[in-house]
Amino acid sequence: MMRVGDSIIRHPARILLAAFVVATVALVALAGGSRGWSAAALQTDATPEDASPVADVIGTPADEPDEDTADLETEDVGTPVAEVGVRSPYAQTIAQGLAFIEDGSLVWRVRQVSPPPEEEAESVVGPSSFNLQISGDSVIRNDVTLKRARLEVGEGFYRSADDPYTLRSEGDDPSRVWFIELVPADAEAPGDGDIIFTSDPLDIDPLSNATYDMELVRNVLLPGEEADLPARTGPALIMVTFGSIETSSGTDGPTTLDRGTGQVAEDDLTLSNTGTEPAVYVVAALGDRVLDPGEEPDTGTDADTAAATDDATPGADDTASVDDPDADTDEDGLTDADEADLGTDPADPDSDADGLTDGDEVNEFVTDPLNPDSDGDGLADGDEVNVYFTGVGNPDSDADGFTDGEEVLTAGTDPNDPDSFP
């Protein structure tokens, strides 16, 4: 199962993505800023509304080119387009948690909500779901553990079932969030928000009465690129957040998905970008089977046999923690008891999927193991430590008035040099 691991070296996608963003910014500057899309599209999701995604989410489009730069753009620079059929390297898991699948007919459902300001926010209990930030910022708090996370555009958060959470807007910009839920087919939606997608009932009975790793994977397809669905168990949901993609299988013709639209994939699909803009989409799916504490594997099924092997999901055998208070099931440097107190996942060494283990975040860097961007600068904690060498607890490492994320992702300047700024 593809996941954001605890070593950046194992996942060259992040390095490639950072390098591409810097290169694209340079091309935009050389061309007089006249692109119809910008490097911001690689880290910004669009709204599902009919408004222009560039004007609504990325920012005000640059001025039209003058006669002196028009030829430079079309003849010397050109639109960055990958060769047709190139595989996208940018897929990353942006949220993850464990979900218990009960008997009954289930559907994938997506609701768009506008979080209220802090003084109007209420504590709500709901099903297992993902929060995906579509525009603006929000802050979510688990009202049991009191752990909080700040979500910026394109970031995800997993909400455990039956825990109360409070979600509020942050800042002055309007905040919009998608709730991506796997719920009973007859479940009524809460009164807040609008349902933008509901699947047909899913054939998920063989998976019922068991716990699974639930993952939200985000990917970028440049023009001409294609990708396969990530490894998964059961039907997956594809939702487009920017641009458009085509989905096709060996027997079915292509289906076009625009931003704000989705499709359930029962079988393998190829996802392609045949347009001229980058496309961004997310895939919500069940991953590996995870044994519950004290549960013995059923050697009669392939799924449970795989879970008991050495290469199964880390922490699949949690029986040691029942008798050993010092057990560290996921070997992240925190005992299972410590993780229970912190609200982190004792079966996942990197609960917030930011590239740093929970133990390193708590014991070495003093960051939040439940927040992938502890200082809120737009860079994941693991990227700050392993790629950019910026202050993981300081949003402006060189104190030049620009956040590390603005320098790396938008301007392409050096976040560690105060003389290099946008």
- SS (HEC) of 325-386: CCCCCCCCCCCHHHHHHHCCCCCCCCCCCCCCCHHHHHHHHCCCCCCCCCCCCCCCHHHHHH
What is the pLDDT at residue 76?
36
| 276 assigned to some structural domain | yes
Give the global pTM: 0.55
Mean confidence (pLDDT) of the chain: 77
Per-residue pLDDT of 136-155, as tens digits, reads 999 999 999 999 999 999 99
Most confident of 32-41, 189-198, 254-263, 392-401: 254-263
pLDDT over 60 (residue 321): no
- Token reading at 181: 């839920």
Alpha-carbon torsion (6, 7, 10, 12), positive or negative: positive
pLDDT over 70 (residue 114): yes
| 184 assigned to some structural domain | yes
What is the pLDDT at residue 250?
66
| 347 assigned to some structural domain | no
Alpha-carbon torsion (315, 147, 407, 53), positive or negative: positive
| 315 assigned to some structural domain | no
pLDDT category, 323, cuts 50, 70, 90? low
pLDDT category, 245, cuts 50, 70, 90? very high
Contacts with 31 (C-beta within 8 Å, 6 or more apart), sequence order: 65, 69, 72, 73, 77
Q: What are phi and psi of 298, to 5 degrees?
A: -90, 105
Per-residue pLDDT of 8-21, as tens digits, reads 334 444 444 444 54
Q: Please tell me the total count of domains within the chain.
A: 1
Per-residue pLDDT of 150-191, as tens digits, reads 999 999 999 999 899 999 999 999 999 999 999 988 888 777
CB 315 within 8 A of CB 339: no
CB 13 within 8 A of CB 90: yes
Q: How far apart are CA 116 and CA 208, in angstroms?
A: 35
Q: Which uninterrupted H or E stretch holds 307?
A: helix 302-307
Contacts with 363 (C-beta within 8 Å, 6 or more apart), sequence order: 333, 334
What is the pLDDT at residue 180?
96
pLDDT over 50 (residue 92): yes
- What CATH code is carried by the domain that includes residue 134? 2.60.120.10
Helix (H, G, I), strand (E, B) or coil at 216: strand
Q: How far apart are CA 181 and CA 130, in angstroms?
A: 7
What is the pLDDT at residue 152?
95
- Token reading at 101: 């699948």
| 398 assigned to some structural domain | no
What is the pLDDT at residue 300?
54
What is the pLDDT at residue 84?
54
Give the structural domain span for 118.
92-288
Per-residue pLDDT of 19-78, as tens digits, reads 454 444 343 343 343 334 433 344 444 444 433 333 333 333 333 434 433 333 333 333
Q: What is the mean pLDDT of residues 339-365?
A: 90
pLDDT over 70 (residue 2): no
| 153 assigned to some structural domain | yes
Q: What is the number of other CB atoms lying within 10 angstroms of the CB of residue 221?
A: 30
Percent composition of the chain: helix, strand, coil (DSSP 3-state, to 5): 20, 30, 50
| 33 assigned to some structural domain | no
DSSP 226-271: EEEPPP-EEEEEEEEEESEEEEE-SSS--EEEETT-EEEESS--EE
| 343 assigned to some structural domain | no
